[in-house]
Chains A and B, each alone.
Chain A
């Protein structure tokens, strides 16, 4: 009875959560370190890395272009009506570009990849776990992290910055579409503001963010799938929970990391 009272105490619950959080962070850190170091182990995993670049990168291009275009169009539309009030509609190009390169591009790209590829990765690895395919790798003397996680991490580190760049460029063109072609901002002014407003540190910042998001999304997605068997539910339900958890945790962490990096980079 005393034990029940102690375990139901709110402080105990908070304590349990804190301990769980620290343990989980430690496990994720070890998972990431091991996966990262295995990228460079021999024999090289080149074909598997290319396979993943195709899956994470090439297959996401369409959805990134669509999202980028509409984000840029909305920014152009919103930005125009705000700027026109202050008589500075000519700065639309700068507003759209800075917003995209510094914030919207990296964040929305990462969220879109989480939805498209992160969830799939988590489900795929989760199914491999429950159908003993990961155990089969171990019995063959194959390091499962090297086989499953490292190529995805390498592919993510390559694909995220490229996709973010595509998002930014398409977004800027989307802003041009609404700002110049629909609302009448001079194309020359729009693009000259794009050019003059962006400095190298903005671009670097965007890339740093996209690399950080790649690490977050790929690690969380693979980690959730890899440890599907630790979920409270087993089988297909467990895989479902892992996938949901991968998407939710990745999205939340993207926003937290974005805030932290923005405050450091500014």
Chain B
């Protein structure tokens, strides 16, 4: 287990006599993304504002690498702050500065870099985040999604060790949300920063986080991995994850993992006297990075959504298809053994090869390289354990290209 970078011990904060944080204990591990979830108004943003020093706690401690923040010398605090970035919910971009000036500001103020170096770094980062030809525009001239990405660029420009994201995708449509999550995940993998996210985007946030903490009534009521949260027996956690998962399903047309499990359990109950068999197919898109380079983050997410939509159209009414991870799609075929499952998949692949993923005719030729893995099971619980590459029931793996 990785060592904790930030430890929060018995943190308390009251506003007008009302305890918002009532003894928070939480460990943030180095090099991981920890996501804090919870209902609106439970104090998630308040909690991360304490970490970055925007708010003062009434009692308790915040330790950074074992040292209490409050007891640090001013010089050490300043050094620490230079290693931390914060992305605000409302972006907090300087509206009287251009996009370029906004992103360059943290570097300019450090006074450590030549103008030429700063210009190059800002331009490179803006390009990497699909922000073209907006250097001289003001934040008010940009769309909500672009503003979020500019704020993300400003948070990333100093290559900090810790980045705190306060609801980075609020107010965006599902495609742009996915694109921003993907950007955060890609940069985290590239720069190995420690990420602390506040988000409601379930289940998508589970794909990019290694650690989840749920805040309720001023306390952390769950702490664990994304897989563990699905196993939680706490009714508040179950209700929250289920409700938000269903909301996402309504928005994207994809089933949540909870819904999948429930559906499989129902199927099993209906065939109580028979042997209930399920076939699982996990499709892994192996060229997502390449696709992003070709068409950008947003278009690649549109392509992925269209791809899943096309798969759904080719399936039987009883079959279900859902996103399983950032680049993984899970297909469940009830009442089907692996042999028939493979035949069904061959047919699906043939039909899918004829489909065009992107509607935009001007986009470069695009193909998804997809690796398929199969498994057969009698219990729905196997969904939790499916791993494309090393599951014992994987029988075949091949690529399909969809032009």
**Interface residues of A, Cβ cutoff 8 Å to B:** 42-43, 124, 127-128, 131-133, 135-136, 138-142, 147
**Contact of B96 with A139 in the complex, beta carbons under 8 Å:** no
Chain A neighbourhood of B105, CB < 8 A: 140, 142
**Contact of B109 with A132 in the complex, beta carbons under 8 Å:** no
> What are 23 sample pairs from A and B whose C-beta atoms fall under 8 A apart?
A42-B111, A124-B96, A127-B95, A131-B90, A131-B95, A132-B88, A133-B92, A133-B95, A135-B54, A136-B88, A136-B92, A136-B94, A138-B54, A139-B81, A140-B85, A140-B105, A140-B109, A141-B78, A141-B82, A141-B106, A141-B109, A142-B105, A142-B109
- Per DSSP, are chain B's interface residues mostly helix, strand or loop, or mixed? loop
Known A43-B111, A140-B109, A141-B81: A135·B53 in contact at CB below 8 Å: no
B374 close to chain A: CB less than 8 A: no
Chain A neighbourhood of B84, CB < 8 A: 139
Q: Chain B 37-74, CB within 8 Å of chain A: the 1/0 string? A: 00000000000000011100000000000000000000
A131, A139, A142, A147 interface centre (most CB from chain B within 10 Å): A139
B264 smallest CB distance to A (angstroms): 45
Contact among A43, A132, A141, A142 with B92 in the assembled complex (CB-CB below 8 Å): A132
Q: Chain B 134-164, CB within 8 Å of chain A: the 1/0 string? A: 0000000000000000000000001000000
Chain B neighbourhood of A147, CB < 8 A: 109
* A132-B111 Cα distance, complex, nearest whole Å: 24
B86 close to chain A: CB less than 8 A: yes
B78, B86, B92 interface centre (most CB from chain A within 10 Å): B92
A124, A128, A135 interface centre (most CB from chain B within 10 Å): A135
Using a CB-CB cutoff of 8 Å, which residues 105-119 of chain B contact chain A? 105-106, 109, 111
Chain B neighbourhood of A43, CB < 8 A: 111
Chain B neighbourhood of A135, CB < 8 A: 54, 88, 92
B230 smallest CB distance to A (angstroms): 34
**Contact of A136 with B86 in the complex, beta carbons under 8 Å:** yes
Chain B neighbourhood of A127, CB < 8 A: 95
Chain A neighbourhood of B94, CB < 8 A: 128, 133, 136
* A133-B81 Cα distance, complex, nearest whole Å: 17
**Contact of B85 with A139 in the complex, beta carbons under 8 Å:** yes
Chain B neighbourhood of A140, CB < 8 A: 85, 105-106, 109, 158
**Contact of A139 with B52 in the complex, beta carbons under 8 Å:** yes
Known A139-B85, A140-B106: A131·B78 in contact at CB below 8 Å: no
Chain A neighbourhood of B111, CB < 8 A: 42-43
A216 smallest CB distance to B (angstroms): 25
Contact among A128, A133, A138 with B53 in the assembled complex (CB-CB below 8 Å): A138
Give the nearest-CB partner of B111 in chain A.
A43
Known: A135-B54, A141-B106. 19 other contacts (CB 8 A): A42-B111, A124-B96, A127-B95, A128-B94, A131-B90, A131-B92, A132-B88, A132-B90, A133-B93, A133-B95, A136-B88, A136-B92, A136-B94, A139-B81, A140-B109, A141-B78, A141-B81, A142-B109, A147-B109
Give the nearest-CB partner of A140 in chain B.
B106
Give the nearest-CB partner of A134 in chain B.
B92
Q: Chain B 76-102, CB within 8 Å of chain A: the 1/0 string? A: 001001101110101011111000000
* A138-B53 Cα distance, complex, nearest whole Å: 9
Chain A neighbourhood of B78, CB < 8 A: 141
* A258-B78 Cα distance, complex, nearest whole Å: 42
A163 smallest CB distance to B (angstroms): 23
Give the nearest-CB partner of A138 in chain B.
B54
* A43-B84 Cα distance, complex, nearest whole Å: 21
Chain A neighbourhood of B158, CB < 8 A: 140
Chain B neighbourhood of A131, CB < 8 A: 90, 92, 95
A128, A136, A138, A142 interface centre (most CB from chain B within 10 Å): A136
